[in-house]
């Protein structure tokens, strides 16, 4: 298991060889491949790029998109920024949390760029807008 992970990380780092400032693109690929960037992977990346583990960890922990541990649950991102608040997203949250019930991971994001048609949500690369309570519950129930 360890060796395959190491191979995969080495592959990803090699994919980005020669790019300027390759760390973020590498971390995105690692996050997509393993669902997280854990301490072991941080060390592997640090070794491959010849930077310190602290440097890699500092970057991983700074950005919301990178996680230290994988979460197997499907994720639904709900926008709770000003424009969606103005369109009533806060009133939908209790029903959303009930529908998620631990099976689905609900995350708050600040803005999906659909500000004239909120409340909005995202599952994977699929966006949903003009959601009412029933609509959001449906998105959450269908999240796989």
Partner 1 sequence: MIIRISDDALARALGADELAAAFASKGHEVHRTSSWGMHWLEPLVEIAGMGFGPATLDDVDAILDGTSPKAIGEIVEHPFIARQQRLTFIRAGRTRPTSLEDYERTDGWTGLQRARRIGGERIVEEVIQSGLRGRGGAGFPAGIKWKTVAGTPGAQKYIVCNADEGDSGTFADRMVMEGDPYALIEGMAIAGEAVGATQGYIYVRSEYPDAIRKLNEALRLCAGIIAPFRCEVRVGAGAYVCGEETSLLNSLEGKRGEVRAKPPLPAIEGLFGRPTVVNNVLTLAAVPHILAEGGAARYEALGMARSKGTMPIQLAGNIRHGGLFETAFGITLSELVYDIGGGTDSGRPVKAVQVGGPLGAYIHPDEFDIAFDYEAYTAADALIGHGGITVFDDTADMGAMARFAMEFCAAESCGKCTPCRIGSVRGVEILDRIRADGREADSVEVLPVMHNAPKTGRLPEQEVALLTDLCETMKFGSLCALGGFTPYPVMSALKNWPEDFMPGREGAVRKVLDRNDA
Q: In the complex, which residues of this chain contact partner 1 (CB under 8 A)?
A: 20-25, 27-28, 58-59, 62-66, 79, 81-87, 109-118, 120, 122, 125, 127-130
Between 31 and 99, CB nearer to partner 1: 31
Contact 78, 109 (CB under 8 A): yes
Q: Using CA of residue 5, residue 7, residue 12, residue 18, what is the dihedral sign?
A: positive
Question: Least distance from C-beta 1 to partner 1, angstroms?
Answer: 27
Question: Cα separation of 38 and 2, whole Å?
Answer: 13
Question: Least distance from C-beta 112 to partner 1, angstroms?
Answer: 6
Between 11 and 110, CB nearer to partner 1: 110
Instruction: Report the SS3 class of residue 104.
Output: coil
Contact 56, 24 (CB under 8 A): no
Between 103 and 135, CB nearer to partner 1: 135
């Amino acid at each position: 298991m360890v060796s395959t992970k190491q191979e995969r990380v080495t592959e990803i780092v090699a994919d980005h060889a020669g790019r300027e400032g390759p760390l973020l693109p590498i971390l995105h690929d690692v996050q997509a491949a393993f669902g997280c960037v854990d301490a072991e992977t941080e060390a592997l990346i640090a070794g491959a790029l010849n930077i310190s583990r602290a440097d890699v960890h500092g970057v991983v922990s700074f950005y919301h998109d990178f996680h230290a541990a994988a979460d197997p649950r499907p994720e639904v991102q709900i926008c709770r920024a000003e424009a969606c608040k103005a369109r009533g997203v806060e009133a939908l949250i209790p029903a959303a949390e009930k529908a998620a019930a631990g099976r689905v991971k609900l995350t708050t994001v600040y803005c999906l760029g659909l500000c004239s048609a909120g409340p909005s949500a995202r599952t994977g690369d699929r966006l949903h807008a003009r959601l009412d309570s029933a609509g959001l519950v449906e998105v959450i129930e269908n999240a796989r």
